[in-house]
Amino acid sequence: MSLVTTHVLDNAAGRPAAGVPVRLEDRDGTVLARAHTDADGRARDLGPDTLPAGVYRLVFDTESYLGADGFFPEITIAFRISDPAAHHHVPVLLSPYAYSTYRGS
């Protein structure tokens, strides 16, 4: 499993959001990894097994999931890795006009 993983849940539909493109970037915008959420809404193979401490971003192409009329065509979540040995799980709860996130386990 990657050091950074994510999970997208479609709150409006009450199911995982499958097929959402997501990329992991460093603070400068360099793309470190790309993935799509699986049938369970998870991206387990997102990037390297190790990353140095620092600030990173997950960028979700929600337009490809919600369609061209979706209010949020993209979601960008910046987060900090303080402990490079720890797993970092960043879930997204998605609906047509809102989203939320948290530090998962």
Confidence at residue 42, expressed as pLDDT on a 0 to 100 scale: 97
- Of 55, 65, 64, 66, nearest to 90 by C-alpha is 55
pLDDT in tens, the chain (105 residues): 789 999 999 999 999 999 999 999 999 999 999 999 999 999 999 888 889 999 999 999 999 999 998 999 999 999 999 999 899 999 999 999 999 999 998
Number of domains the chain contains: 1
Edge-to-edge strands, sheet with 31-36: 31-36, 21-26, 54-60, 75-81
Domain extent, residue 94, equals: 4-101
Q: Give the domain CATH number at 24.
A: 2.60.40.180
CA atoms within 13 A on the CB side of 27: 8
Question: pLDDT digit string (tens) for 55-65?
Answer: 999 999 999 99
Amino acid identity of 95?
Answer: S
The Cα–Cα gap between 86 and 93 comes to: 23
